[in-house]
Amino acid sequence: MLSALIAIAVILLDQISKHFVCTNLKPVGSIPIIDGILNFTYVENTGAAFGILSDNRAVFMIVSVLVIVVLSIVVVKFQGQSKLFDICLGLIVGGGVGNMVDRAFLGYVIDFIDFCAFDFWKWVFNIADSAVVVGCILAIIFVIFDKKAATIGQKAQESQTEKTDE
């Protein structure tokens, strides 16, 4: 349930922000938010992350649908086992659906967060992208700590078994 609520919240926040950007930012192009650090810049991204593989809409739609279906199955199967895992899945699914909605209805993804503090950073992204990245980072952290916990638990159990054998 937590995953679904987070996914819905991400989708709504993403779509509302993109509607606001289309209405207010598209005619202007770019607005500095924090001078030299952060701009809101209207971009129509026909590619994948950071504009990679532009103009491959069918490929992105198929891959997006497959990933969202697989993640939805994972959500149903493993939901409730860990709040952190539920949060990860909700963020990833919500972000994926948010961008897929754009691709399906517009043919491109609307990006607008332009972090321009570094000359080498030229990527413009959106809330859905942020949710996917944060969800993936949290999932990696979850897997690392879950694995360590399992290893520690196994060593403790082996230690107990050795003591009882003596």
For 110, phi and psi rounded to 5 degrees? -85, 120
140 near 84, Cβ under 8 Å?
Answer: no
Among 14, 86, 102, 111, the active-site one is: 111
* Phi/psi-derived region of residue 51, left when phi > 0, alpha when psi is between -120 and 50, beta in every other case: left
Does residue 119 have a pLDDT over 80?
Answer: no
The greatest distance separating any two alpha carbons of the chain, rounded to the nearest whole angstrom, comes to: 78
Among 35, 129, 146, 165, the active-site one is: 129
pLDDT of residue 149: 44
Q: Which one, of 22, 25, 54, 23, lies nearest residue 41 by Cα?
A: 25
Q: Rounded CA gap, 34 and 38, in Å? A: 5
Could you tell me the two tokens for 38?
């952060």
Average pLDDT of the segment spanning 4-25? 96
pTM: 0.76
Residue 35 annotated to the active site: no
Average pLDDT of the segment spanning 87-112? 92
The CB density around residue 75, as the number of other CB atoms within 10 Å, is 21
Q: Rounded CA gap, 7 and 88, in Å? A: 10
Length of the chain: 166
Q: Which domain holds residue 38?
A: 2-165
DSSP 14: H
Q: Rounded CA gap, 12 and 112, in Å? A: 16
Q: Percentage of the chain surpassing pLDDT 70?
A: 78
pLDDT of residue 65: 81
Residue 111 annotated to the active site: yes
Mean per-residue pLDDT of the chain:
82
- The count of structural domains within the chain is 1
